[in-house]
Amino acid sequence: MPDAIDLLVLGAGPAGAAAALAAAEHGARTVMVDEALAPGGQVYRAPPMDHRQLGQRALEPEHRDGEALRRRLQCSGVEVATRHRVWSLLPGFRVHAIGPAGHRAWVARAVVLATGTTERVVPFPGWTTPGVIGLAAATILLKSQGAVPGERVVVAGCGPLLAAVGAGLVKAGRAPVAVVDLAGRGEWLRALPAMAARPDLVRRGLGWLAALRRAGVPLLSGHGVVAVEGDTRVTAVRIAPVASDGTPRAERVARRLEADALVIGHGLVPATEATRLLEADHRFVADAGGWIPVLDDDCATSVAGLFAAGDGSGLAGAAAARLQGEIAGLAAARHLGQLDEGRYQHTVAPLRQGLARARRFGQAMARLTAPRPAMVGTIAADTVVCRCEDVTRAEIETAIASGAREMNQLKAWTRCGMGPCQGRMCAETAASLLARHVGGREAAGQWTARAPLRPLPLADMVGEFGYDDIPMPEPAPP
Amino acid sequence: MSTRIETEIARPDTVTIEVDGRPLSAHPGESLAVALLAAGIRALRASPRAGGARGAFCFMGACQECVVTVDGRRVTSCLEPVRAGMRVRLGLG
């Protein structure tokens, strides 16, 4: 039998935690579910149990803020269900999850989705080689696990994570071979006015760049990765200058960097499978990371009782996520009848002001981090786009030429997006390729989300249920 | 040189796990994918169609590239904490 609760919060990052804390404070019986070992999300990801951070590591702002958040949750009325994967959400908010002790289900009167993002990497030859990992993946290794991806690491892609990861590697005693930034210096300069809203973060960024310079790490602006060499592991990374739209400049010779790992990222994509599964309205906003749920000022989606907050509802960064999460939690409490209108409006007004400020910075960073418009067009025909099913660009183009006009058609014809990651890694690339032929991303549409949201063994889904549990009608009288 | 950062982290003492029948030392609690990386094991499985080598990619449980079998269950090794005596099988995905 499912547990009846007031509010279920999906995702325990800055947005989810703020929502759960705010709603629980007003008396909502709240459960927050996350698949990680401890709350914190990607930004405040906890170190493994009993791995103690010492010295400078213990003073890192993310570590300190994360520990403070986890302490606050412990003293709150929020039930935190970590190591639980939500695999189904049904209308009326019946939520199913698998955890270490097996199956769990809840029926909630309201839901806040704070599902965060997945990382986007625009494919290039060799991107499936072991040793190529995401930029966000590298921050998890460095900050939470205390590990580096290799001995000779190239850091590439775009956005502020480049310098953060590069400096993290320097600090770990493994200065990267090079930091390869798609953005030219001019793009960073144009972002300066928006960056002025967060002088603390600008100072940190400058600190990272200074650490890279002191370590003598080459910082190659306006460059991109054209290929990775190696079969079962990375042996070298080839880079070339790129134009501002992302096209490699063929007239310039590519450089070869010997390396055993490549860290690369082209921005983040909001994880919208839960809002899609519940059939909330969505809209396409390139600067917000792609398809996002339509939200009002109260973080409410088009489905009554369903709220969304944080980067999963549109990229704006951790500071904005926290404020948005708090608004969503308060709005959920109001929806549940636990917070009256007057007090709600009084409490959210300053949060909304803060959110507008935090967003300016976060969105400027998101723009710097987004892939360049021409990049998808430069993917080679035989390069794999869908990692799970090994579907190449050529196969996608063939399906489009044969008449696939919409994402679900493309999936059915090619198996692109049908594998265990459920399209999380390839959706953006496949949709951008299709959009070039059908008049834009809105026309290309999105993949229909289906349960199970995460792969799970059939035995886990069925649980203790056996053949004898099937209700059999009485035999008809003879 | 190890891929583990040795300074400013106090880890619990190593335990032994079994990877494809061979013993491997790892710290309890660290992610299995990180323990395999530290042992130089990068390729964790072959892709089902082209048979290409694949390893951990997103480290946050989304991409499913690091799926291995632990004690008979398929798990994402990036989210799986190391436990003494765990039996890991690579290659199936």
Whole-number pLDDT of residue B93 = 44
Question: What is the interface pTM, i.e. ipTM, of the complex?
Answer: 0.97
Domain membership of residue B69 (yes or no) is yes
Query: Is A147 in Cβ contact with B34 (below 8 Å)?
Result: yes
Other CB atoms closer than 10 Å to residue A168's CB: what's the count?
Answer: 24
Domain membership of residue B52 (yes or no) is yes
CATH of A3-118+269-367, one of 3.40.710.10, 2.40.50.140, 1.10.3720.10, 3.50.50.60: 3.50.50.60
Whole-number pLDDT of residue A164 = 95
**Least confident residue range of A262-266, A303-307, A361-365:** A361-365
Of B65, B59, B40, nearest to A421 by C-alpha is B65
The percent of residues in chain A predicted with pLDDT above 70, rounded, is 99
Q: Does B91 touch chain A (CB under 8 A)?
A: no
Is residue B1 over pLDDT 70?
no
Is residue A437 over pLDDT 70?
yes
Q: Does residue A149 contact residue A261 with C-beta atoms inside 8 Å?
A: yes
CATH code at B53? 3.10.20.440
Query: Is B12 in Cβ contact with A145 (below 8 Å)?
Result: no
Domain membership of residue B10 (yes or no) is no
**Which chain A residues are closer than 8 Å to B53 by Cβ?**
129-130, 231-233
- B69 sits in which H/E element: strand B67-70
Q: Does B52 touch chain A (CB under 8 A)?
A: yes
Residue A205 makes CB contacts below 8 A (sequence gap 6+) with A160, A163, A164
CATH of A379-444, one of 1.20.120, 1.10.10, 1.10.3470, 3.30.379: 1.10.10
**Least confident residue range of A10-24, A198-212, A280-294, B32-46:** A198-212
Is residue A201 over pLDDT 90?
no
Domain membership of residue B28 (yes or no) is yes
Which residue in B4, B65, B79 is closest to A35 by CB distance? B79
Is residue A125 over pLDDT 60?
yes
Residue A121 or A199, more confident: A121
CA distance A21 to B32: 32
SS3 content of chain A, % helix, strand, coil (to 5): 40, 20, 40
Instruction: Dump the DSSP string for A294-306.
Output: ---TT-B-SSTTE
Query: Is A53 in Cβ contact with B9 (below 8 Å)?
Result: yes
Other CB atoms closer than 10 Å to residue A236's CB: what's the count?
Answer: 18
The percent of residues in chain A predicted with pLDDT above 90, rounded, is 81
Residue A109 makes CB contacts below 8 A (sequence gap 6+) with A5, A6, A7, A93, A305, A335, A336
The range of the structural domain enclosing residue B81 comes to 15-89
Query: Structural domain boundaries of chain A?
Result: 3-118+269-367, 121-266, 379-444
Residue A434 makes CB contacts below 8 A (sequence gap 6+) with A396, A400, A404, A406, A407, A410, A444
For the segment A202-225, the average pLDDT, to the nearest whole number, is 95
Domain membership of residue B44 (yes or no) is yes
Query: One fold for both A3-118+269-367 and A121-266?
Result: yes
Per the structure, the count of domains in chain B is 1
CA distance A114 to A435: 28
CA of B90 to nearest chain A CA: how many angstroms apart?
14
Question: Can you name the CATH fold of A121-266?
Answer: FAD/NAD(P)-binding domain (3.50.50)
Residue-wise pLDDT for A134-185, tens only, equals 999 999 999 999 999 999 999 999 998 999 999 999 999 999 999 999 998 8
Is residue A471 over pLDDT 80?
no
DSSP A242: B
Residue-wise pLDDT for A342-356, tens only, equals 999 999 999 999 999
Residue A243 is which amino acid?
Answer: A
